[in-house]
Structure 1
Amino acid sequence: MNAKVSHDILEKWLTAWSLSRKLPLPVKYKSGFKVEVGEEQQKERYVFSELNEDFIELSQQIEEPWIYLKVCNSRDEINKVVPEKWKIQPPGYMMSCFGSMKTYDSHLCAGYKIEYEEYNSTTAIKIMNQSGELASIGRIVLVDDLAVYDRIVTEEIHQRKGLATFLMRELEKIALSKGVYHNFLVATEEGKALYESIGWKLYSDYTSIVI
Structure 2
Amino acid sequence: MPETRISELVRMWIEGWVVSRGASDPIDEPWGWTIDVGQTGQPRQLARHVLPEPTEADVRKIVAATSAPGTWLKLFAEDQVALPWVGPGWRLDAPGFLMDSQLRPERPAVPTGYTLTQWTRGGVSRVLVRTGEGHFAARGQIATVGAHAVADQIETAAEHRRKGLGSLVMRTLQGTAYETGARTGLLVGTQEGQALYSSLGWTTRSPMASLWYEPADAA
Global fold match (TM > 0.5)? yes
Report the CA distance shift for 1:147/1:109 in structure 2 as closer, same or farther (over 3 A): same
Report the CA distance shift for 1:152/1:40 in structure 2 as closer, same or farther (over 3 A): closer
Distance 1:181 1:15 in 2: 15
The partner residue of 1:135 within 118, 134, 137 is 137
TM-score between both structures, scaled by the size of structure 1:
0.88
**Which structure 1 residue ranges, 5 or more long, are not aligned?**
none
Report the CA distance shift for 1:125/1:40 in structure 2 as closer, same or farther (over 3 A): closer
The partner residue of 1:81 within 82, 85, 91 is 85
Asked if structure 2 preserves the Cα contact closer than 8 Å seen for 1:148 and 1:185, the reply is yes
- Runs of 4+ aligned structure 1 residues displaced above 6 Å come to none
RMSD: 2.1
Quote the residue 1:160 is aligned against.
Answer: 162
Asked if structure 1 preserves the Cα contact closer than 8 Å seen for 2:108 and 2:172, the reply is no
1:22 Cα offset (Å): 2.0
**Which structure 2 residue ranges, 5 or more long, are not aligned?**
214-219
1:47 correspondence with 2:50 = yes
Which shows bigger deviation, 174-183 or 122-131? 174-183
SS across alignment from 2:130: strand
CA offset digits 1:9-59 (Å, max 9, x no partner): 323311211211222222223331111111561111111111133333102
1:173 Cα offset (Å): 1.0
TM-score between both structures, scaled by the size of structure 2:
0.85
Letter in 2 for 1:35: I
Asked if structure 1 preserves the Cα contact closer than 8 Å seen for 2:103 and 2:174, the reply is no
Distance 1:16 1:72 in 2: 17
Asked if structure 2 preserves the Cα contact closer than 8 Å seen for 1:139 and 1:149, the reply is yes
Asked if structure 2 preserves the Cα contact closer than 8 Å seen for 1:72 and 1:205, the reply is yes
Quote the residue 2:146 is aligned against.
Answer: 144
1:83 Cα offset (Å): 2.0
Distance 1:85 1:26 in 2: 25
Number of equivalences = 206
